[in-house]
């Protein structure tokens, strides 16, 4: 019964806040953000308590038996397909549950202050709880259809949250874009499910890993699963939805696009790692995509002027690190980076939200500056997030990101090319994050005078989560730090690892130094590269190819078939009918004698044929 409480608490919070919103609409009264926020946050804290309790129980069980299961009801009964609605908790899902509920609780608490003046806070918090409920189903599902239920559920919830301010058509369009692009990847998920059931007769994740797939099926199955993950985790080519998703409230960006939903792809790859890792091709495609994504998205981040879009492209880049880790076979390092990334990226997003809140909605980093003195808590916590994402010791990113960089070189599936792209991305990460830090908190103020007079630190409801996340960004890496005592490793392997870590830190410091020198005294807006600012024109390419391009193709096909085939067939049919009518009317003379003569000729012809035919038949 205890596992069901993990998903029950967010579900109850969703229902209560949903009913409160309906009551508020009917009575035309506003539900306080404090009330609805307390309900939603209490639901998440309770779920976190259950997750922590179960995690501690798992740790006391031998590694081979670390699985808890609870079957709630029979879900699908269709011929050979018999599925129970079963929750399954193991070491992998326990880590994700702790991240979802723990970081989710802090973001819910932060939202109370951030959404204090919103018109419909009960609706907002009901959506947040719905999202967490679906995310927990995704990581606790024992079967692929159950995972897919959560997979689609978080897609729906993210659509509702991104387009939450629905009176703004741009925000609605951003929600629609995210929903549609995720559906492209979801089609691949469905096809992979069908293939797995056809080949093995089961959709249970544990059974599927035990049975495995035939070598010939591993490649298509692995590529389909990977393509599904590129949509949910915003990898090339399905990454363009995530920067636009920043249109939603900032806490939504922190929850969905930093800590939880976008890491679903890493979860699925890791969950099925025993199946897909048997194909070198699949691993190579995953690693190549991750390496290219981590570098290109870091380049795009260097040109962004919107504080949230800098962090959005940063998220895509960090997800690329995770995919690179999975692609070179270091799935544990990828999951480790999921955890540390959740700490420091949620911190950075919430810090950005605190800045936006203080500046009354301003998001252009070239209209900021000198906020260190006026926003001390936000500034110092943001600096700790900055140090973590740069990978400076002893912050959390140092342990997880550098482990992936090391594995990209030394793993049997790694290569020098992957290593170079990863190190280059680490350098660019330090550059664009220092650029962001300096332009927002240091240097001369570029804030409008009227806005500057009203700047104030965020309330404690928003500041407290920042403080907690900054502590996690500092110490979170020690939770998964590699232990070498007693391990069978050589002095040479240690030397390579230390050299890689040291080199990565040096590259980060060089990138930070260059950015500080370039932007430290910036007093006006910079003319940025429009190609990088617009995401390397990927959206323009999609619009030309699948938007106006498909329209032109459809118009061309319509012209060809309509005018060259359909219209000509109609015209020739008319000519044929007219000609046949002219021929037949010759026989229609209107003379009775003529008709009788034709009848006689026809009768004689039929008799002659019968007699001749019968005679011939008799001879046979």
What's CA 116's distance to the chain center, in Å? 28
- The rounded mean pLDDT for the chain is 88
Q: What is the per-residue pLDDT for 351?
A: 94
**Cβ-proximal residues to 527 (8 Å cutoff; 6+ apart), any chain:** none
Look at 396-400, 462-466, 579-583 and tell me which has the smallest mean pLDDT: 579-583
Structure tokens at 306: 């919107």
CA distance 157 to 264: 14
- Do 9 and 50 touch, CB atoms closer than 8 A? yes
Q: What percent of the chain has pLDDT over 90?
A: 59
Structure tokens at 254: 């922190």
489 has pLDDT over 50? no
Structure tokens at 155: 């897609």
Structure tokens at 279: 């194909």
Structure tokens at 386: 């900055």
Specify the pTM.
0.88
- Do 503 and 412 touch, CB atoms closer than 8 A? no
pLDDT in tens, 212-230: 898 889 999 999 999 999 9
Q: Is 482 left (phi over 0), alpha (psi -120 to 50) or beta?
A: beta
pLDDT in tens, 229-252: 999 998 988 899 999 988 889 999
614 has pLDDT over 60? no
- Best mean pLDDT range from 211-215, 539-543, 579-583, 614-618: 211-215
Higher pLDDT, 589 or 146: 146
For residue 320, what is the enclosing H or E element?
Answer: helix 307-327
Give the mean model confidence (pLDDT) for residues 585-590: 68
pLDDT in tens, 63-76: 778 899 999 999 98
559 has pLDDT over 80? no
Angle at 64 between CA 323 and CA 212, to 5 degrees: 55
pLDDT in tens, 32-82: 899 999 999 999 999 999 999 999 999 888 877 889 999 999 998 888 888
Sole residue written with tokens 């993950």: 229
Partners of 70 in beta bridges: 87
């Amino acid at each position: 019964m205890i596992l069901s409480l993990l998903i029950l608490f967010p579900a109850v919070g969703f229902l209560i806040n949903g009913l409160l919103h309906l009551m508020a609409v009917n009575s035309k009264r506003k539900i306080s953000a404090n009330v609805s926020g307390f309900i939603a946050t209490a639901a998440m804290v309770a779920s976190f308590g259950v997750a922590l309790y179960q995690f501690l129980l798992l740790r006391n069980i031998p590694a081979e038996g670390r699985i808890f299961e609870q079957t709630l009801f029979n879900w699908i009964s269709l011929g050979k397909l018999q599925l129970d609605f079963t929750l399954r908790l193991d070491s992998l899902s326990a880590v994700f549950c702790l991240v979802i509920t723990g970081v989710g609780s802090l973001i819910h608490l932060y939202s109370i202050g951030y959404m204090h003046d919103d018109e419909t806070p009960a609706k907002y918090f009901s959506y947040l709880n719905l999202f967490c409920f679906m995310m927990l189903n995704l990581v606790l599902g024992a079967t692929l259809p159950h995972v897919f239920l959560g997979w689609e559920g978080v897609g729906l919830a993210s659509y509702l949250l991104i387009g939450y301010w629905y009176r703004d058509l741009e925000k609605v369009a951003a929600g629609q874009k995210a929903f549609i692009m995720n559906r492209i990847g979801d089609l691949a998920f469905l096809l992979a499910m069908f293939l797995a059931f056809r080949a093995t007769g089961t959709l249970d994740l544990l059974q599927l890993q035990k049975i495995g797939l035939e070598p010939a099926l591993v490649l298509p199955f692995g590529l389909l699963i990977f393509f599904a993950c590129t949509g949910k985790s915003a990898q090339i080519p399905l990454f363009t939805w995530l920067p636009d998703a920043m249109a939603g409230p900032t806490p939504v960006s922190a929850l969905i696009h930093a800590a939880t939903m976008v890491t679903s792809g890493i979860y699925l790859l890791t969950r099925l790692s025993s199946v897909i890792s048997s194909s070198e091709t699949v691993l190579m495609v995953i690693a190549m995509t991750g390496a290219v994504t981590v570098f290109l998205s870091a380049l795009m981040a260097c040109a962004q002027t919107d504080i949230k879009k800098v962090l959005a492209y940063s998220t895509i880049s960090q997800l690329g690190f995770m995919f690179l880790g999975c692609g070179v076979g270091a799935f544990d390092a990828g999951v480790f980076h999921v955890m540390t990334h959740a700490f420091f990226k949620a911190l950075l997003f919430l810090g950005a939200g605190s800045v936006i809140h203080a500046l009354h909605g301003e998001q252009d980093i070239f209209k900021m500056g000198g906020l260190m003195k006026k926003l001390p808590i936000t500034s110092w916590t943001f600096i700790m997030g900055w140090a973590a994402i740069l990978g400076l010791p002893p912050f959390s990113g140092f342990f997880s990101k550098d482990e992936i960089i090391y594995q990209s070189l030394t793993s049997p599936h790694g290569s020098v090319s992957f290593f170079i792209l990863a190190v280059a991305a680490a350098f660019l990460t330090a550059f664009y994050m220092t650029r962001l830090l300096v332009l927002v908190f240091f240097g001369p103020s570029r804030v409008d005078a009227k806005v500057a007079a009203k700047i104030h630190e965020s309330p404690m409801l928003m500041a407290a989560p920042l403080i907690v996340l900054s502590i996690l960004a500092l110490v979170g890496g020690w939770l998964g730090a590699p232990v070498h005592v007693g391990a069978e490793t050589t002095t040479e392997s240690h030397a390579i690892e230390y050299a890689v870590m040291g080199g990565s830190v040096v590259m980060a410091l060089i990138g930070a130094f260059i950015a500080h020198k370039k932007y430290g005294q910036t007093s006006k807006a910079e003319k940025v590269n429009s190609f990088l600012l617009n995401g390397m024109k990927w959206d323009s390419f999609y619009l030309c190819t699948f938007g106006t391009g498909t329209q032109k193709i459809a118009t061309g096909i319509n012209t060809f078939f309509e005018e060259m085939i359909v219209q000509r067939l109609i015209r020739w049919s008319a000519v044929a009918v007219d000609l046949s009518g002219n021929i037949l009317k010759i026989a229609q003379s209107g003379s009775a004698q003529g008709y009788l003569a034709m009848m006689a000729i026809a009768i004689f012809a039929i008799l002659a044929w019968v007699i001749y035919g019968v005679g011939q038949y008799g001879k046979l």
